[in-house]
Amino acid sequence: MKKIVIFGVGLIGGSVALALKKAQPTLGSLSIVGVGRNPASLAQALQLGVIDAGVDSSSAQLKTALADADVILIAAPVAQTAGILASIKPHLNRHTLVTDAGSTKGDVLACALSILAEQAHQFVGGHPIAGAEKSGVGAASADLFVGKNVVLTPTEQTQAETLARATHFWHSCGAKVSHMPAQAHDRIFAAVSHLPHLLAFALVDDIANRANAAELFGFAASGFRDFTRIAGSHPEMWRDISLANKEALLQELTAYQTELALLKTLLENEDGAGLEALFSRASLARNAWSDKKI
Amino acid sequence: MKKIVIFGVGLIGGSVALALKKAQPTLGSLSIVGVGRNPASLAQALQLGVIDAGVDSSSAQLKTALADADVILIAAPVAQTAGILASIKPHLNRHTLVTDAGSTKGDVLACALSILAEQAHQFVGGHPIAGAEKSGVGAASADLFVGKNVVLTPTEQTQAETLARATHFWHSCGAKVSHMPAQAHDRIFAAVSHLPHLLAFALVDDIANRANAAELFGFAASGFRDFTRIAGSHPEMWRDISLANKEALLQELTAYQTELALLKTLLENEDGAGLEALFSRASLARNAWSDKKI
């Protein structure tokens, strides 16, 4: 790898840049070009040494940068993927690997197939599972992906060499890499990530809209803090994820509504044994998961 | 204060004992008697120096301990409160303050009024808002309550001196003390504590019951970890809290179901602006709360 172009130099894009720079002794000489909508954040990325050059997404320099890139990484909010792929396509060298870091993969893959067309086999979608409660390049870290999972979502058309290059790219950032179809990815993350985000947003909104919200927040403590941490996440990003993964997320919401109705019935019936059984199953599963993870 | 009797020497009861011992230079000579169902945990409390004596809840020594106690603290799961109050009543000195540390206050107050009868004015309910993800006397700490809120729930019959003594008791543990009616307490904590616990239990149970639970848990990351931390809580304790605060909790579940149905409709209609507005309200409120708390 000699030249990497990164669309969106925020927490994720910036951390990839820093991780690759850290791995440079192994990877050899490397030039990282950042592309973004916001000149101020590109200037910040340049000043922090995260990127070697910053170009505006509508500039002529972008054409040159794209033409000889080894890897193009899209690390912008997922709703921008189509526009970015369209801007890449006219300049896409047939040796360039295109990958992304979006939280949903079915919609991104559909964009790549339609927009990159006969060059779609150069694209492999990716999702780094790394915390993102802070955002912006100022929060970027070379170690963000170390030991974390990155899920790649190749298709039957993806060539083995392309997948190997995408795998190597993320391995160079320190990540563990696994592969699965985009649809399977989206179903899994609807359950373990997207649904919990929506549930946390809903709880905080429910409380914030009340006349006595200040009093309620005044007595909220550590359990509330942890439960609602993800409700502090980026609204635009989560709007995009929700819409992009609509079908799987609606299924999850329906399943959760069923579970909640069951719990409510147990409580209405004062079924202590039933409540304790549900809480015990959850508590055992949660603590077993936690013991394994940490 | 010379003699304190504590029913239930776990995390909360044990931490009160340690906090009072730490404050002993100010409080003067103090003897702490622990009462419990489990001889092994009383022995552990004694060995750790948390209590000065441990008595079985059915022993003759208990009678003596109760008769000259300055303060009796009930720090057992709330469903045991009635039985404990009944065992206290025959031996209750008219100068003794009775308080508790239960997470629900309406049910505890009703027990106190009915069981302590003409001596009910000696009782002031309390709820220390202190983290309890670990349990047992081994996790007790003299500093658990430092800077934390304790809500006391006096009634119109509570004498000013009794309330002052209960306030002093919790101040001695390092806590900040506020007062409100038991019913107001239960409504507030249904919203900011009991509901989030039920939501977290429901999510983990929903996932744990699926055929691909292992795969789903395998990809769950830091957002899931924080959201579900409270789902690792004690099932028996949360069964008791749910049943004790049934009415307020059912109202909260209903309000949350309405909010969730609204969110689902926004998603079904692909209403991006509506979703972003809801997420923005939640995100702003959550981050404003968090900035203020920390």
Q: Looking at the structure, do residues B170 and B197 belong to the same domain, yes or no?
A: no
pLDDT tier, B294 (very low <50, low <70, confident <90, very high otherwise): low
* The predicted structure's pLDDT at residue A132: 58
CB-based contact B131 A223, cutoff 8 Å: yes
B47 and A CB contact within 8 Å: no
How many structural domains is chain A composed of? 2
Shared-domain flag, residues B162 and B190 = no
Closest CA to A121 of A148, A95, A83, A91: A95
CA A3 – CA A97 distance, rounded (Å)? 11
Dist CA B47 CA B58 (whole Å)? 21
Which of these three, B180, B201, B231, is where a domain ends?
B180
The three-state DSSP-derived secondary structure of A189-257 is HHHHHHHHHHHHHHHHHHHHCCCCHHHHHHHCCHHHHHHCHHHHCCHHHHHHHHHHCHHHHHHHHHHHH
The answer to whether residues B205 and B87 belong to one domain is no
Whether the Cβ atoms of residue B16 and residue B26 lie closer than 8 Å to each other: no
Summarised one tens digit per residue, pLDDT across range B126-175 is: 999 986 567 789 999 999 999 999 999 999 889 899 999 999 999 999 99
Do A26 and A149 fall into the same domain?
Answer: yes
Residue A19 near chain B (CB below 8 Å): no
Count of C-beta atoms within a 10 Å radius of residue A258: 12
ipTM metric: 0.89
Nearest to A206 among B200, B204, B256 (CB): B256
H or E segment to which residue B256 belongs: helix B246-268
Answer yes or no: do B279 and A224 touch at CB < 8 A.
Answer: no
| CATH at B95 | 3.40.50.720
pLDDT given for residue B22 in this prediction: 94
Domain co-membership, B112 together with B242:
no
Q: In this structure, are A133 and A215 located in the same domain?
A: no
- Judgement on whether residues B256 and B117 belong to the same structural domain of the protein: no
Residue A136 DSSP one-character state: S
Q: Are residues B216 and B167 in the same domain?
A: no
Could you give the 3-state DSSP secondary structure of residue B291?
helix
Cα(B257)–Cα(A206) distance, rounded to whole angstroms? 10
- Whole-Å CA distances, B290 to A13, A30, A57, A169, B286: 27, 40, 36, 37, 6
pLDDT for residue B25 is more than 90: no
Residue ranges in chain A modelled with pLDDT below 50 = none
**Shared domain check, B194 and B100:** no
CATH assignment at residue B260: 1.10.3660.10
B39 three-state secondary structure: helix
Across the interface, of A213, A221, A281, the residue whose CB is closest to B208 is A281
Q: Measure B186 CA to nearest chain A CA, in Å.
A: 11
Q: Are residues B19 and B163 in the same domain?
A: yes
Q: Which of A148, A222, A282 sits opposite B205 (nearest CB)?
A: A282
* Alpha carbon distance A9, A7 (integer Å): 6
Is any Cβ of chain B less than 8 angstroms from the Cβ of A164?
no
Q: State how far Cα B192 lies from the chain centre.
A: 13
Structure tokens at A240: 């995009």
| Dihedral angle sign, alpha carbons of residues A191, A148, A3, A180 | negative
Top-confidence residue, B1 or B54: B54
Write the pLDDT tens digit of every residue in B242-291: 999 999 999 999 999 999 999 999 999 999 999 999 999 999 999 999 98
Task: Note down the domain range covering B224.
Answer: 185-293
Residue of chain A whose alpha carbon sits nearest to that of B220: A192
For A144, which DSSP code? T
Residue B28 predicted with pLDDT over 80: no
User: Which of B140, B163, B180 marks a domain boundary?
Assistant: B180
Residues B189 and B151 reside in one and the same domain: no
Looking at A180, A213, A242, which one is the last position of a domain?
Answer: A180
Q: Does A194 share its domain with A245?
A: yes
| Cα–Cα dist A149/A75, whole Å | 16
